[in-house]
Structures are given as structure tokens and as C-alpha cells.
Amino acid sequence: MRPRCLHCRTIDELWAHARPGIRPLPRPRRLITSRTAPVRRFTSDPSIHQKNVAVIGAGVTGLSTAFRLSQDQDARVTLYEKAPKLGGWLQSEIIDVDGGEVLFEYGPRTLRAGLEGSMSTLELLFDLGLKDDIISTKTDSPAARNRYIYYPDHLVRLPGPYPGAGVLGNVIMNVMQLISEPVLRRLAMEVILEPRRPVRDPAISDESIGDFIKRRFGPNAADVVGSAFFHGIYAGDLYRLSARSILRVAWDEFELSERGFATELMDQANQLKLSMPYDIAMARRLVEKEKYNEIRRFAKGNNVFTLRRGMGQLSTALESSLRGASNVEIKTGAEIKSISRRGEDSASMTVGLDDGTASDYDYVISTTTSAALSQQLLASGTNQPPTSVTDLLDENDYAVTVMVVNLYYKNPNLIPTRGFGYLIPRSVPFDLNPERALGVIFASDSSAGQDTADPPGTKLTVMLGGHWWDDWLLSDLPNEESAIAMAKSVLARHLGIADEPVVAKARLQRDAIPQPTIGQVMRMEQLHDALERRFEGRLKVAGAWYTGVGVNDAIRAGRIVAAATLEGRDGTTGLERYTSENFKGRFPALKVQEEEEE
């Protein structure tokens, strides 16, 4: 008897056991605009038609997508990766030191534990049997509550609850902080005066995050706090990042609300309990009720989480599961030369390799860079190259390079304060940050529980470069030795650390973080339409280049696109969140609107 599929059931089945009175989530709307031709469907029942799927790229998006597909025994999955190893940017290294081991991360290290954002990730970790390996940082811990920026020449704690303090203590300490820090006083005045600022012209379709924050609040909010924050997430220039794409709710709803920006912002937490963005609503509907309740209980009270053996443990577990699956084939060292549709009326896609071999598939899911996909589509050799798609892919080509330096010291008391770390704003004078550091992570606090060294020491991570290196040639970038020297210089200047590390290692992560620049939402909506017209949903995309740069974003995107593939929804592209109605909407937690199918 064929094994029962645990993950490809229809949405109605998934929610059949939901709370009384809750309707199952219907399938998402397929928006048909004036520039979108009606899509011919090649839909078959997943339970009776074996789907042959190619997944391109074996980073966290590709691995998690392939895993979800592999759970359906009616799917045949081929995972292509050009590198000899799987895992992409999930890179963890365990190093022997006196008294035990320390773990260095060169990519993502901690994930936000907020239920809606992390739901697909926690679901995946539970399914992989990694629940007992999750290390959580509680919301009341110093690492969660103590967040700093370096400005202009010292650490500044950002306002917020203090670890272990009561209500009165928090009020007193935050007031004293505002009085003692000039930059916080200026920031407070900008927040107080915000309601008096005029709203933007509704005709403006997008603007930079920097311009948006400066216009709504002022230069301190933008160039000090805002730039530091986006150095930490995107390593990017907030005057190039898209406000509409990244700050969707604030930009699209709060500012234009009759209730006022500040009032809407304060109500945000409560609103999230009732409604959520399109892609989060779509991911939530895929989780069975019993598992959702388990995830909710687990996430409660946690700020961030990681894995005991580092984030690389996730890619190792995914690879192990896929290699043990009878319906999965993994091809490493596989350079994709071309991706094409066999014919205008064909339901098959062809993937050609650099060695001259080719294979046909029902679906292709690309999780690699936009530039790589564009080149592969143009190399198809068809009489009518899909330039409507590739032109848009070519516009989505900007990513930043980051040097990650990890250092471990024997002295456990090097850091002057406990916390997650500190970020460095763009407005810090050059002579105080000539290395162009983005921030420093107090890894001993933020990832406590990973290292076994006894007695424990101090582990720090320094991030260098990002958008500061946009105009640098490859030959201008520091090598490992130079990067370690730069990191030590930053730590000496900012924290007074003169000790020599027991071990220090650095890796250059080239084009590691895609940047959603001004106009991103419009480009992605147009790309959705172009993919739907040309490939009728047979070619789908997912991952950091399209739907968010975080690990949580990547796993959620893979979850959604895998479900759409298994359910036979050929009209989907992976970019449904960007259609005009879906992007602007906030969907009830257990309900997604849909148009009646014609």
C-alpha cells in the first residue's frame, strides 16, 4: 500500500478539525490584471498523478522546498546544486579549544521566535526531529532586552524593558537614559512631533526607507537608529531599500490612516493577533491544528532561537532526510545551463546541464539568484526567448557582500555589558569606524548553550562591509588575515579589548544578502504576471531574491510553493504576495478571501 502523505492534503482536509465556526482557508486568489492573459490549467489530482519536480539550488530554500515535496510519495524530486556541498549560507564550524569546543557561524545564527514569522521554521524543525536541539533565548533575558548602537563614540542602550526590572524601575531607568543621552532626547522629540507631520502624496508609489523615516520622524530616527537597524538585517543602505516592500504595513496603511501613524503603530501588536499578511496567512493554513498548538506553546516567551550545533545542523538534517528518501535524487556539482519549456502548448519543462544532458519535468522551482535564472532562460535556444521575464529578473540583481569575523577569547569578562550586541549607524564619523563595520554580536550571550569550553570564554562576531563595499573591486576586499586585523581594531576602539583571541576566523560572503530596492513591489508583481503568462505556473521561484532575506522567510516561501505544486495549482508562481490585492490586504488569521472560479 502506498504510504499516506502527511503534507500534501488539501487545505479543507488540513482544517477539518479546526475550532467550531472556523471556515477552512480557500485557495488564494489568482489575480488577473489587464496585462495577464487567462492561464490554461494542466491540473491533475496529486493523489493519482506523479509530479516530477526539479528544485534548483540547495540552500535553505531549496532544501526545505525539496523536503516538503518529498513528503508526498506521488512526487519525484530532483535537487540540483552547482556546489559540491549543500546548505548555501548555513555555515557552522565547530572548533576545538582548551576545555571543549566553540561554534562559529558564518551565516544566519539566530532566528526570530515570533509565532507568525517563525511558524514554518518551527514546523520544519519539529518534523525533522530537531525540537530537543533548539536553544531559545527568553524574552526577559539580557540578550533579548539589551540592544545597543554605537553612537557617536560609545555604546548607547536603546529604550526598552530592563532585565529583571519591575514597572517602576523600568520607567525610572528609561527616563534617566533619555536625560543622559543627547541622541535619545532628540529621538524622543522626533517621535513626539510625528503626528504633526504631513502625510505623503498618495500618488507616490514607493520611496526609500531612509526618506520615509526621515520624513515621518526626522534625521536621528533615520540616520542613527534606522540605519543601524538595517545594517543589522540587510547590511544595506536604507536610502536604497524600498519602504513599501520592507515596511509594508507602516508605509501602505499607517501613514495614510485617518487615525494617524502613531496610533496605528501602537495598535500593531493587537492587529497581528486578528489579521496577518498574505504569505504568513497562507503558511499558517498549512499547519495542522494539533501541531500549530504545539508550536504556539513552544514559541511563547521566546525571543530568538538557534540550534545546538549551529544553523548548519538544519541543512545537515534536511540533507540526511532527502538522501534517505526513495523519491529524491540529489545532483551536486551540477551547473544548470538552460531552463526552457518544451513547446508553447507543452506542460513540460526542460532543464539542461553544462555537460550536455537534459531532463524533463512537470515543474521547475528556482531558488537561486535572479541573474542565474535569467541566464538559464536566455540560454534555452528558443525562437522566442522569454525576455518579458528575463528583463525583470535582470533588474533584480543587487546584493551586498559581507565579511564575517568570529573571535574567541579565553577571558570570559571582556564585554563591558551583557546583551545581543551593537549595531553601527551610517552617521558614525569615519575616524571612529574606518573599517566600515556594520555591527558586533556578543555571541556568548546571543547563542548561549552552544559552546562546551570549560571554563567558558568570550565569543564575538564582527560584521564588515555590506553596502559600504558596493563600489569596491574584488581585489580591494580584505583577505582573512586583513579582516581579522580589522575586526580586532574595531573591538579595541569600541570596547577597549586588547586581548589576543585564542582563535579567530573569517569568511567573505559574496553577494550574500539581496537588496529589495525602491520599486521592488512593482517589479515583483510584473514578474509574477510575466511568469504566469509565459510558463503558466510551470516555473516557480522562491527564496531570498524574491520574498525576504531571512531564514524564516526562505522556509515559509518553500513551504508555500511546495504546497501549491503538490496541490496542482499551476497558475501560481511563488510571487502571489505581490499582486495588488494580496500585498495591500491583511488577511484574517484563519480565512483568506478568494474570487469565485469561473
What is the tens place of the pLDDT at every residue in 61-74? 999 999 999 999 99
pLDDT at 243 over 90: yes
Answer for the pair 540, 366: CB distance below 8 angstroms, yes or no. yes
Answer for the pair 465, 438: CB distance below 8 angstroms, yes or no. yes
How far is it, in rounded angstroms, from Cα 170 to Cα 164? 9
When mean pLDDT is compared across 212-216, 340-344, 438-442, 449-453, the lowest value belongs to 340-344
Burial category of 179 from C-beta neighbours within 10 Å (exposed 0-12, middle 13-18, buried 19 and up): exposed
Assigned C-alpha cell, 353: 546541464
pLDDT at 29 over 50: no
Choices 3.30.360.10, 3.20.20.70, 3.50.50.60, 1.20.1090.10: CATH for 139-197+199-255+398-512: 3.50.50.60
pLDDT at 135 over 80: yes
Assigned C-alpha cell, 489: 581594531
Matching residue, cell 550536455: 356
SS3 330: strand
DSSP 28: P
pLDDT band at 275 (very low <50, low <70, confident <90, very high): low
Q: Residue 47: what pLDDT?
A: 41
Q: Which CATH architecture has domain 49-85+277-297+308-395+515-584?
A: 3-Layer(bba) Sandwich (3.50)
Q: H-helix or E-strand containing 350?
A: strand 349-353
Burial category of 10 from C-beta neighbours within 10 Å (exposed 0-12, middle 13-18, buried 19 and up): middle
Matching residue, cell 539542461: 352
pLDDT band at 322 (very low <50, low <70, confident <90, very high): very high
CA-closest candidate to residue 332, choices 350, 321, 341, 319 = 319
Q: What digits encode the pLDDT tens for the residues 476-493?
A: 999 999 999 999 999 999
Q: Residue 598: what pLDDT?
A: 37
- The answer for 573, left when phi > 0, alpha when psi is -120 to 50, beta otherwise, is alpha
Q: What digits encode the pLDDT tens for the residues 148-194?
A: 999 999 999 999 888 888 889 989 999 998 899 999 999 999 988 88
Going by C-beta distance under 8 Å and a sequence separation of 6 or more, which residues neighbour residue 380?
338, 339, 340, 350, 352, 386
How far is it, in rounded angstroms, from Cα 98 to Cα 102? 10
Cross-strand pairs, 330: 79
Number of CB atoms found within 10 A of residue 19's CB: 8
Domains 49-85+277-297+308-395+515-584 and 139-197+199-255+398-512 share a fold: yes
Beta strand 147-150 with 421-423 is parallel
Q: What digits encode the pLDDT tens for the residues 515-569?
A: 999 999 999 999 999 999 999 999 999 999 999 999 999 999 999 999 999 998 8
pLDDT at 280 over 60: yes
pLDDT at 60 over 90: yes
Give pTM, 2 decimals: 0.88
- Each domain of the chain, given as residue ranges in start order, spans 49-85+277-297+308-395+515-584, 139-197+199-255+398-512
Going by C-beta distance under 8 Å and a sequence separation of 6 or more, which residues neighbour residue 270?
none
Q: Residue 569: what pLDDT?
A: 81
Cross-strand pairs, 116: none
pLDDT band at 253 (very low <50, low <70, confident <90, very high): confident
